[in-house]
Amino acid sequence: MSEQPKGWRGTTILSVRKGDQVVIVGDGQVSLGNTVIKANARKVRRIGDGNIIAGFAGSTADAFALFERLEEKLERFNGQLTRACVEMAKDWRTDRYLRKLEAMMAVVDKDVSLILTGTGDVLEPADGIIAIGSGGNFALAAAKALMDQDLSAEEIGRRSLKIAADICVYTNDNLTVETLDTK
């Protein structure tokens, strides 16, 4: 008897804040069970006025719903990322429709890096590194190991995702990279 697909799976999103730069890097693979459905999905994008980058781990439909909701919150709170994320997390936890979304988001601007979850969490990592998705722990370990090297945030992000793609079968090396200057 063949194994039944366990649903959409696979994403690695990594954010690195170093020096005068913050980056979010995401792979492009979408899998259904053990089958690669798409190799070039775009899971990282600029939102708001272009000064905010968001990366998403979860289903594609959920991503569109959450990106749209976050953009509405950013507009309502004049681009204040932390306030918009807290308000969105409240909605995500209490709204019947949103509560069913199984996802995580990494969101950054020039000042702050945040992880948003469907359980209402808005977390800011102490070291400026965020990693979510199926290959997140591999990318996180690689990024932490590379932080003391003479590399930019983008170089660390790219190298870390390459390492994650070599280890995690739900991650590929078809990357989307978005970078912001933090000056």
- Residues with catalytic roles: 11
Measured distance CA(71)–CA(85) in Å, rounded: 10
Q: Is 136 exposed, middle or buried (0-12, 13-18, 19+ CB in 10 A)?
A: buried
Measured distance CA(36)–CA(91) in Å, rounded: 32
What Å distances lie between residue 112 and 127, 148, 170, CA to CA?
11, 21, 28
Q: What angle (nearest 5°) sits at the alpha carbon of residue 152, between those of residues 51 and 170?
A: 80
What Å distances lie between residue 50 and 21, 32, 97, 135, 173, CA to CA?
15, 31, 27, 27, 25
Tokens standing for 138? 């591999």
